[in-house]
């Protein structure tokens, strides 16, 4: 598409958007007009429009079903737009059904977010049916909508036909065992989906074994999924040891695995760590935040880190680890040269620190954290850290750990690092 054709399309969309708002007595969003005008006047092409209800402009006038109908008028035929953000609004099943009807015929939209609206079963089913016919949508986020089990099963059915969707987020959607079993079964053979988030859904304890068995078969057999979020599913040690752990070892495509906030304790962690130590070479991100792996689990992770050359990000914060486990991880960092991001806060740091240290004057932007072979943690400036690195000591930048150290009268103390932000990769 040449520049003049593109500008014409943007101007036409702007004109139709303003006219639709006037005809239907809806406000024209200044942020949208600004984005459209900027796109017309610059070389940077506009591919996304943000109608998120948590923006400053829309916080007190979130989009409802009627505004969705207004918006769909100019969206039809807007070939330059690939990404529409509609999260944190007040869209219900009526609006979702209108969006579903639009998706059946649309050939341009690649990403759609409806996160945190008021869409329930009927709207969820309509959207799931729509993706059977849509051939261009790559990413769909329906998290934090109560679409329920029936819609989840319909999504599984649609994924038997759809070969274009790459990212599906159904976190906190009130899915049950039926839909998770259905999704797990279908995704054993679906080779187009790259990212799946089914976290924070409810599995009946009596069905946990069946669900985890099928999840494990999906992980073992799927050849495309690189991101899997199974946090907050009440996965137990038994399911981890008997199903998930071996499946993860055998999967050579998975890069990101989130198992945080499950019922995984030391046995589950030991099993995972053993299988990540040698064979698994692709997993770069592992989260076990807010489980209860304790010292035995931390020691297993320490042993894993001495052998694993793939993990770059590890979250084991809030896991009831004492100084024994923290030192085991610290000693592993002595030889591990791959890990670059580590979360440990919420464990017993008081047992790791408290001794006197020398004060070091340094530029904060260059400070690095060094863990010595005895498990002591010290601050060094960049020159000293470089020298210590040559002697086999491991260092991590301040923004790569979720804890920070400070000295008062020569005594080292620890605090939560406010600079550290959670990342998925």
Q: Which residues, other chains included, contact 215 with Cβ-Cβ below 8 Å and sequence gap of 6+?
A: 180, 184, 230, 243, 244, 247
Whole-number pLDDT of residue 384? 36
Mean pLDDT of the chain: 86
Tens-place pLDDT, residues 154-175: 999 999 999 999 999 999 999 9
Q: Report the distance separating Cα 265 and Cα 318, nearest Å.
A: 12
**Higher confidence at residue 228 or residue 277?**
228
Tens-place pLDDT, residues 169-215: 999 999 999 999 999 999 999 999 999 999 999 888 888 889 999 99
Q: What superfamily would CATH give domain 48-350?
A: Ribonuclease Inhibitor (3.80.10.10)
* pLDDT > 90 fraction of the chain, expressed in percent and rounded: 61
Q: What is the mean pLDDT of residues 383-391?
A: 40
Tens-place pLDDT, residues 55-82: 888 888 899 999 999 999 999 888 889 9
Instruction: Indicate whether 137 pLDDT > 70.
Output: yes
Q: Find out whether 97 and 126 touch, Cβ atoms under 8 Å.
A: yes
Extents of the domains making up the chain: 48-350
**Higher confidence at residue 202 or residue 409?**
202
Q: Which two tokens stand for residue 333?
A: 């960092």
How many Cβ atoms are within 10 Å of 410's Cβ, its own excluded? 10
């Amino acid at each position: 598409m040449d520049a003049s054709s593109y500008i014409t399309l943007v101007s036409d969309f702007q004109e139709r958007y303003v006219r639709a708002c006037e005809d239907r007595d809806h406000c024209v969003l200044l942020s949208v007009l600004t984005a459209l005008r900027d796109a017309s006047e610059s070389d940077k092409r506009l591919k996304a429009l943000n109608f998120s209800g948590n923006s400053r402009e829309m916080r007190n006038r979130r989009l409802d079903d009627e505004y969705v109908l207004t918006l769909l008028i100019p969206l039809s035929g807007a070939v330059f737009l690939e990404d529409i953000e509609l999260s944190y609004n007040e869209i219900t099943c009526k609006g979702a059904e209108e969006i579903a009807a639009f998706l059946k015929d649309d050939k341009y939209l690649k990403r759609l977010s409806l996160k945190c609206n008021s869409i329930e079963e009927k709207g969820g089913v309509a959207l799931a049916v729509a993706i059977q016919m849509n051939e261009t949508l790559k990413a769909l986020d329906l998290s934090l909508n109560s679409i329920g089990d029936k819609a989840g099963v319909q999504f599984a059915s649609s994924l038997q036909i759809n070969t274009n969707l790459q990212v599906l987020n159904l976190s906190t959607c009130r899915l049950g065992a039926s839909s998770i079993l259905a999704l797990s079964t279908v995704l054993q053979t679906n080779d187009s989906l790259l990212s799946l988030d089914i976290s924070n859904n409810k599995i009946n304890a009596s069905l946990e074994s069946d669900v985890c068995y099928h999840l494990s078969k999906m992980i073992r057999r799927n050849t495309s999924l690189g991101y899997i979020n199974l946090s907050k599913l009440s996965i137990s040690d038994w399911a981890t040891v008997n199903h998930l752990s071996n499946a993860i070892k055998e999967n050579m495509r998975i890069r990101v695995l989130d198992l945080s906030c499950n019922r995984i304790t030391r046995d589950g962690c030991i099993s995972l760590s053993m299988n990540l130590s040698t064979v698994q070479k692709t997993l770069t991100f592992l989260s076990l935040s807010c489980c209860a792996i304790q010292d035995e689990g931390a020691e297993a992770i320490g042993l894993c880190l001495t052998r694993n050359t793939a993990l770059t990000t590890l979250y084991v914060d809030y896991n009831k680890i004492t100084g024994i486990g923290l030192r085991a991880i610290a000693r592993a960092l002595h030889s591990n040269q791959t890990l670059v991001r580590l979360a440990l806060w919420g464990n017993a740091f008081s047992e790791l620190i408290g001794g006197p240290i020398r004060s070091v004057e340094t530029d904060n932007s260059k400070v690095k954290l060094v863990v010595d072979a005895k498990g002591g943690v010290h601050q060094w400036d960049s020159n000293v850290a470089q020298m210590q690195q040559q002697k086999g000591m491991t260092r991590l930048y301040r923004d790569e750990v979720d804890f920070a150290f400070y000295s008062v009268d020569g005594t080292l103390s620890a605090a939560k690092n406010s600079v550290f932000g959670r990342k998925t990769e």
